Amino acid sequence: MSQRTLVLLKPDAVRRGLIGEIIGRIEAKAGWSVAALELRRLDGATLEQHYGEHKGKPFYEPLVAFMSSGPVVALVVEGERVIDGVRRLAGPTDPIEAAPGSIRGDYGTIVRENLIHASDSEESAVRELKLFFPEL
């Protein structure tokens, strides 16, 4: 089943020059393609909506500060079972728990600075795509 998902390469990935590496891993999967791509800075209102489910948690404020600390790359990726697929390519939230071979497992050590966001369900994908790419 072909799907679309929202991917964000977080400010740590951009700062460390990992844009090409991470997009390369996504593009290499059979049948997946990049449908939209933009380097942009996220404002407070966008981040509040994007990470609204975490408001009130101890990591929320530092997360928003981190996500505002530099540009991100926002992408729409489409293809066969891409929502679950990119989550698996990314690996678990904590990079130390993430297996080598996954993006977080290969490049991350810090829970907050875990390189990549990807929509976690069809409902999240619809909501996040509307928030980041309303014109699509």
Q: Which are the catalytic amino acids?
A: 117
Which pairs count as long-range contacts for 89-95, CB under 8 Å and 24+ apart, including other chains? Answer: 89/25, 89/26, 89/29, 89/118, 90/114, 90/115, 90/116, 90/118
Q: Which is nearer to ligand RTP, 67 or 79 (CB)?
A: 67
Structure tokens at 122: 């069809």
Q: Is 104 annotated to bind ligand?
A: yes
Q: What are phi and psi of 83, to 5 degrees?
A: -65, -55
Site string for ligand RTP, 46-85 (x = CB under 6 A): --------x----x---x----------------------
Q: How far is the CB of 63 from ligand RTP (least distance, A)?
A: 4
Is 14:87 a contact under the CB 8 Å cutoff? no
Q: Is 87 annotated to bind ligand?
A: yes
**Binding to ligand RTP, residues 99-128 (CB under 6 A):** 111-112, 114, 117-118, 120
Q: Is 88 annotated to bind ligand?
A: no
d(CA 104, CA 94): 8
**Residues comprising the binding site for ATP?**
10, 59, 87, 93, 104, 114
Give me the residues that bind ligand RTP (CB under 6 A), please. Answer: 54, 59, 63, 93, 111-112, 114, 117-118, 120
